[in-house]
Amino acid sequence: MTTQSQRPSDADSGGAASNFIRNIISEDLAAGRHKRVVTRFPPEPNGYLHIGHAKSILLNFGLATEFGGACHMRFDDTNPAAEDLEYVESIQRDVRWLGGDWGDNLFFASDYFERLYAFAVELIKKGKAYVCSLSEAETREMRGTVTEPGRESPYRSRSVEENLDLFARMRAGEFPEGAHVLRAKIDMAAPNMKMRDPPIYRIKRARHYRTGDAWCIYPLYDFAHSLSDAIEGITHSICTLEFENNRELYDWIIDNLDVPSRPRQYEFARLNLNYTVMSKRKLLGLVKGGYVSGWDDPRMPTIAGLRRRGVTPESIRAFCEEIGVAKTNSMVDIAKFESCVRDDLNLRAPRVMAVLRPLRVVLENFPEGQVEEIDAPYWPEDVPKQGSRKVPLSRVVYIERDDFLEDPPKKWFRLAPGQQVRLRYAGFITCREVVRDQATGEVVELRCTYDHPTKAGEAPGGKKPKGTLHWVSAAHAIPAEVRLYDRLFAVERPDAVEEGKDFLENLNPGSLVTLTGCRVEPSLSTIEKGSHVQFERQGFFFVDPVDSAPGAPVFNRTVALKDSWSKLAAERPAPAPESAAARPQPAKPKGERAPIEERIARLEPARAERARHLIDARGIPGDDAVVLAEDDGLLRLFEEAVAVHDNPRSAANWVIHSISRELKDRKTGDLPFSGAQLGELLALIDDGTISGKIAKDVLAEMLQQGGSPKAIVERRGLRQVADEGALERIVDKVVAAHSAEVSRYRAGNTKLIGFFVGQVMKASGGKANPDLVNALLTRKLSQPA
């Protein structure tokens, strides 16, 4: 059996680039326990894979590749009532799409049915298994509880001969389902209830998708899984934490049979995402109940659904690498996954214009029949790619209906009567007249004037409107269908339902909005299925590979440009604690995260009081306060930092958003530095000694090997350059080296300031004071040529 010393401990977690399983494998190879690493991915073909499986796929195949070994693809097909060839094919397709390559190592548990049966007979002959004839209810009643031992079955004393005879007759089909099971004879008083004579074979009269009616008895998971590992020579059987209690049974089966190899099981934390469900049973319910269009519905967390939505395997890989491999289950915010998707698509999706809810705009002073070809880049300044297309501008264009208000509020920078905005890449329009439908009163058209930009990129008169709108030419636009996908569930934890309720009641009614009257720019007339684009100001979209047709594209929104859900939660004011109970609360809008006070109310009383103190007395944002109140280790680190440098908001931000994400499977007590040293680091930032960027480099070294941040800064010469004379020389060199960008900046493209700041920071090795750099650049670039 696996001893305590063989099990992974918190000290095995390694750094950010490692994990405890990788460390175990390295140690096993170094000690000569194995010459070659063999892992496996063993899904049951009873449904489609979801993103939780992706973490296991990438871990198992990744470790095998890293150590020059092999990863087997094995289907755990021992439950014929729920399994299907469709699922086998979909699983293979998904694993290949994620980059998994099993070569010739494709196996099925059903391949081993004869050998598994022989192993069961071996256990009977050794007196370690018996045929039990109790009913399921009787077996459950005699199993005991976590505090009381179970009672032995009256059939436990059957002779070896009787057990062999009954087991053979079970295989021959003499008995109905439920008449008998084969149980391992272990210990009915075992503290681990998995060891209380667990069933290892049962009668199941169902046709198997591979073996047909050849068998009517089937092995249970623990028996088939451990022995399949041993048959295949698996060295490291890696599974999720819910199988931790099964490990003792796994070892018992291996240790009590004459098996060809000795695998060992290791557990890691499964991937849990909020705003979704991961249960195959519930996902199947969504499909069969018609709540989604199928397993590949883009709202589903299945690999097939994510692929059809436009998520890439690279973004899934980046997400799994970011959350790491831990030994403690936790809930991951889906916003982190969406952020990884945005980061990936930002570098692969060209920018184009699309109007989803068109409003007709007539440019009255633009000559009829005239068309201007405007050169528009596919990529923004911060993406290192080139390419552009011609966008036609004509007398009639479409803008978004939401970009016009007849009676706008203050600071409305879009279009309104008498107000001027810029058309993206083109000139300026001013709304002069609003045309309504006589029957409904709805605004159907705007009459505007058009002004070409001056050489400086300004509107006539030197004006610089703050609003810029995307648009398409009405005469050239391509009709398209756009599907706006959002989170399938409206609450963070759809599984956490009250008694008597169903998780389906938490479905988000706005998870899919289909728009059929959309118009996209003509460059998309020949776009191929499976292409990625960013609709400017809208989000990242993917040409649906199933429903799109030539000349009639269907675009699925992969992800919005910003995390609007978090923004909604942050903007919603929390009610005052003392009045929350007395005042009726408004209904929470669908899709909005729970208000802070509601989240605090879910905490234990002492933690809730701690969260309120952090908000009221320390000025900590509500979300950060809840995280600190829930985690004693993070809170202690925060308090130690604030005691040295009194900047609570900064300390909370660094503890939660920079340190906790690096902990992965470590605890705060395992960190090689103290909260006081974190406070020392924050003081260096606030007094201008180092920049925030340099501080992250210092923290990375502290996470790896500890040490005083002051000493690290001095040893590595990281002090921020704040000498104006020294920086001015660097600024002059950068400006002189980029004359084309200087001309574009002076012509009105002031967003290039970010480019210049980046060049100066790069030239200074990241040590320049960014505020001083910004001021120097603004002054230099504003000077006449």
What residues are annotated to the active site? 44, 270, 280
Alpha-carbon gap, residue 673 to 108, rounded angstroms: 49
First to last CA, the chain: 79
Is the Cα torsion angle 139, 140, 142, 148 positive or negative in sign? positive
Residues 6+ apart with CB under 8 A from 219: 78, 109, 113, 116, 120, 200, 201
What CA–CA distance (Å, rounded) separates 52 from 282? 14
Residue 190 DSSP code: -
C-alpha separations of 99 from 92, 93, 160, 248, 558 in Å: 11, 10, 49, 33, 21
How far is it, in rounded angstroms, from Cα 587 to Cα 490?
13
Q: How many CB atoms lie under 10 A from the CB of residue 139? A: 18
Angle at 455 between CA 450 and CA 456, to 5 degrees: 100
Q: How far apart, in Å, are the Cα atoms of 93 and each of 42, 100, 172, 558?
A: 15, 10, 37, 21
Among 466, 434, 465, 463, CA closest to 447: 434
Q: Please choose, from the candidates 537, 599, 542, the residue with its C-alpha nearest in 3D space to the C-alpha of residue 564.
A: 537
CA 261, CA 720: separation in Å to the nearest integer?
A: 59
Pull the structure tokens for residue 535.
Answer: 């609709």
Whole-number Cα distances in Å, 325 to 7, 49, 71, 267, 303: 15, 19, 18, 10, 20
Adjacency order of strands within the sheet including 199-203 = 129-132, 181-184, 199-203, 217-219
The whole-angstrom separation of Cα 236 and Cα 262 is 10
Give dist(CA 741, CA 744) in Å, integer: 5
Q: How many residues does the chain have?
A: 785
